Structure 1
């Protein structure tokens, strides 16, 4: 999933983390609403169009799919109280509970049929429609070669949903817990038209909370308890107020005075202030940060020596320790830690290599000069695009200084609001852009599928036939052979790095400070970033 700040900040060695904050002496708020700082704005409540962590986090707690993410890379019942899989792995039957929308109307199997058809409809332009590609006729619908009604999802009455896949997909159970697979009301979508999901009023919810107070452009919104939620009796607090504050020092001051219950810590100094405090929680993220180079619009990046030189000029150890200082780790490749092991080995152990992630300025200069000769240039001007968060700014500053050590390279940094950065990245309006991806589910394919030649999120348009073939085999002919599939993915990672298709920088760790009165926030390494259903507020905790 795209992280819209550094998120696209936007969970790793642990599958989930339930945070219980320790006691402190600072002023505590007595509010029944949890006050939570966010680094970037909410961009949409339309589950078919969401792409970033802030939107996914809000959606995960205001809506609910067939299944829900749970600890240890498992899933638990959501709208579906149970499900069965056919022996050949190609038919899923979900048995739905009797649940309601926030307006009191029933959530039915047809709400899922409509939602899934809407997401794969090319007119919706969902960037997550590719997740449906194993469902019968989904790809053909995306190419306007089949009707929406032919999608392999059918309602058998109001409370049974039958899904037909074209081939087995071991991680399908994780997909249906994600926002693009949430139910949607056709009546509501038609009622609000173009404004659907663009503000909190023009929306319907089936999750534990309803979103209120979001106009589509403001810097705060609330999640308020939804009394029509099927499990409302176990939601023991009133909700959360999210406040966007891009200045980390202001955030910390507000947290210190009790105005915030949770805040993201940024940088070495802030994290250091909480070094010995039990209020500090380091949340590992299955989230690599990387540079994409626009090979379609800037021919300079078609040269492999130029791409490799840029990567070799980046001292990732220095950057993570001295600039970030928040526990984030130098990239060892593209796929992050936290994926399931295979035959006792992690993916990084099998695929990790120094190729594509090493630092050697002397070698960088040699390759740079060689590349300049090959493209017939003596100097190059490049813009580096990132968001305007504190991490975004510190990253561009470090990279600009590092890369300008290459003779004849001039780098101009552009830090813009996260929404603008995403729009520009997706439209190809950049030379180099800093992006990140939080794994949608615990499998390396969640990362590696991005950079196929026609990948929706392949913004730099890197293309490699061998890479495409390996991914196709992992998803096709080798899908049911765990050893062959693993080797396909390992070799795909090695190909991506040896060709320097992208430039990995670091794996994110997200340091968060949480007041002692708040417990039960559950963070996940993949997919939606957090679950608020089990929060408890104890105003007597000191």
Structure 2
């Protein structure tokens, strides 16, 4: 999920120009036009769904499902402005350490229960509880006692969140979080119905029937492994009068040839496109390019001797022509990525963060330098050659990317042998978490419009640091940006810029590209909101026009 912009609903965004700038397709949410008799949307997904447990969510597809079936304090609306969700009012203390949210009284779960402040308290405590093993627990850092709870030093009941009656939620911080309000629109901070969690136990969120919902839609037909499911209009949703769709049907098609054929036969209303398809269809009235605050990069398994060597990591990175990958293999405005943070995420004093943090070390194509570094690196570890595998997804695009990387590395680093493993998304995630890879093609979309959404990933103890890169100075810079410098916009910016430069220079990861996704969406689909950060698709106000 990738995120950034201007916050409404009484939210004053703290310095660093944290305006959530939306890109991509965003048609009017007004349904003043004539509605088609059948209000059903048929949507394509490129990968399978892994979970709908708000505590365990990790991927964009699951984030989209939760963004439309669940509702937190706020939701990301048109032009990526945060709009009221369950919260109708926010009061912030003068020291910005206490937030008091007033909740609406007419919000209900799909099982008929009222949505109350206790549901937020329960959901948040469940997520930070180490027993849940939530990868996103780190986002709660800054809420009182969250760090100690996650570390197992304090009980989850001590988290700085409490219900004052049914309709007032008070959140206490132990350090200032300039991006706190942006977090409240992210799905991991959604409420959770304790009765449902306890009823379904370990099955909670593993299939559509093991879940209750408080958002615009409910989910049906997902068994946990199948490739088709539906969202149905939630009859208990507080704002159901503004939800026009009766259903959204999803089907997973990993081949863009298949999905485009289904689109042509009017069995789908949306499909992503390959580079070749985009070139042929760019003049089609249904065509658009979804810009994303998402970077794709290589993670090296740094528990392995070879990848503990910086020169070897740099050699691989210098051997890759990012411009060719972005322009010829992917196309559609995809950008070569020269750092860990996406371009266009946020700027300060007119300077884009990605430009401020740009370095040439390790991210430029330099065949000669790559070969010299590999020679030196192999000598340092006592090896004469290098052999490894690259792990990626089994979608059409991912297969093209891994094939390109294999070709580049073997051609530019003679004697190096590279194997490619393309597996289903769920398998790739599982292998990454287990450390069962040599090098993996990873992708991250910003969860909110702040560089820390990317930079946090590579701290030593972050659950998403799959390659296990560790750097004490990097950790210190990120910690400063979130503690002593949190209230100083200039110092915090400098901390993050230094950290971004450091990970490039040390080649903790190898940034590859920032994807812009070509797609077809029928012009009859109105009210669609697609954002660059956080959950991408908001279908709440979509309707099908005649």
Scaled to the shorter chain, the TM-score interval is: over 0.9
2:144 matched residue in structure 1: 136
What pairs with 1:485-504 in structure 2 (closer than 5 Å)? 485-504=492-511
User: Contact 1:18 / 1:520 at 8 angstroms: preserved in 2?
Assistant: no
1:178 matched residue in structure 2: 186
Give the TM-score of the pair, scaled to structure 1. Answer: 0.94
Match of 1:37, SS?
strand
Equivalent of 1:56 in 63, 71, 77: 63
Output one character per residue of 1:102-130: Cα deviation in whole Å (capped at 9) or x when no partner. Answer: 12210000000000000001110000000
Equivalent of 1:191 in 168, 175, 199: 199
1:110 matched residue in structure 2: 118
2:544 matched residue in structure 1: 537
Match of 1:516, SS?
coil
Distance 1:291 1:16 in 2: 25
Report deviation, 1:74.
Answer: 3.3
Quick check: 518-527 or 489-498, which moved more?
A: 518-527
Report deviation, 1:418.
Answer: 0.3
What pairs with 1:144-159 in structure 2 (closer than 5 Å)? 144-159=152-167
2:14 matched residue in structure 1: none
Report deviation, 1:239.
Answer: 2.2
Distance 1:150 1:334 in 2: 34
Report deviation, 1:71.
Answer: 4.3
1:507 paired with 2:514, answer yes
1:291 paired with 2:309, answer no
Q: 1:67 to 1:20 in 2, by over 3 A?
A: closer
Report deviation, 1:333.
Answer: 1.4
1:257 paired with 2:259, answer no
Q: Which runs of 5+ in 2 are unaligned?
A: 4-18, 29-35
1:377 matched residue in structure 2: 383
User: Contact 1:15 / 1:338 at 8 angstroms: preserved in 2?
Assistant: no
2:372 matched residue in structure 1: 366
Output one character per residue of 1:351-396: Cα deviation in whole Å (capped at 9) or x when no partner. Answer: 1122221001111111111111111111111011001001110011
Q: 1:271 to 1:264 in 2, by over 3 A?
A: same
What pairs with 1:7-22 in structure 2 (closer than 5 Å)? 14-20=21-27
Report deviation, 1:180.
Answer: 1.3
Distance 1:30 1:317 in 2: 47
Distance 1:409 1:66 in 2: 52
Give the TM-score of the pair, scaled to structure 2. Answer: 0.93
1:346 paired with 2:385, answer no
Match of 1:87, SS?
coil
Distance 1:532 1:328 in 2: 25
Report deviation, 1:19.
Answer: 3.6
Distance 2:103 2:20 in 1: 33
Match of 1:386, SS?
strand
Match of 1:123, SS?
coil
Report deviation, 1:326.
Answer: 3.1
Distance 2:296 2:408 in 1: 17
What pairs with 1:455-534 in structure 2 (closer than 5 Å)? 455-534=462-541
1:327 paired with 2:327, answer no
Equivalent of 2:407 in 391, 401, 425: 401
Distance 1:525 1:48 in 2: 22
Distance 1:320 1:339 in 2: 19
User: Contact 1:452 / 1:467 at 8 angstroms: preserved in 2?
Assistant: yes
User: Contact 2:68 / 2:538 at 8 angstroms: preserved in 1?
Assistant: yes
1:314 matched residue in structure 2: 320
Output one character per residue of 1:496-529: Cα deviation in whole Å (capped at 9) or x when no partner. Answer: 0001110000001111101121111101111111
1:218 matched residue in structure 2: 226
Output one character per residue of 1:311-344: Cα deviation in whole Å (capped at 9) or x when no partner. Answer: 0100011111221123211112110012221122
Q: 1:208 to 1:13 in 2, by over 3 A?
A: closer
Distance 1:260 1:48 in 2: 31
Distance 1:498 1:211 in 2: 45
User: Contact 1:372 / 1:379 at 8 angstroms: preserved in 2?
Assistant: yes
Report deviation, 1:17.
Answer: 4.1
1:122 matched residue in structure 2: 130
RMSD (Å) for aligned C-alpha atoms? 1.7
1:166 paired with 2:174, answer yes
Q: 1:72 to 1:36 in 2, by over 3 A?
A: closer
Distance 2:409 2:38 in 1: 48
Q: 1:72 to 1:355 in 2, by over 3 A?
A: farther
Distance 2:522 2:189 in 1: 34
Distance 1:258 1:281 in 2: 18
Output one character per residue of 1:388-433: Cα deviation in whole Å (capped at 9) or x when no partner. Answer: 0011100110000011120221000000000000011011110000
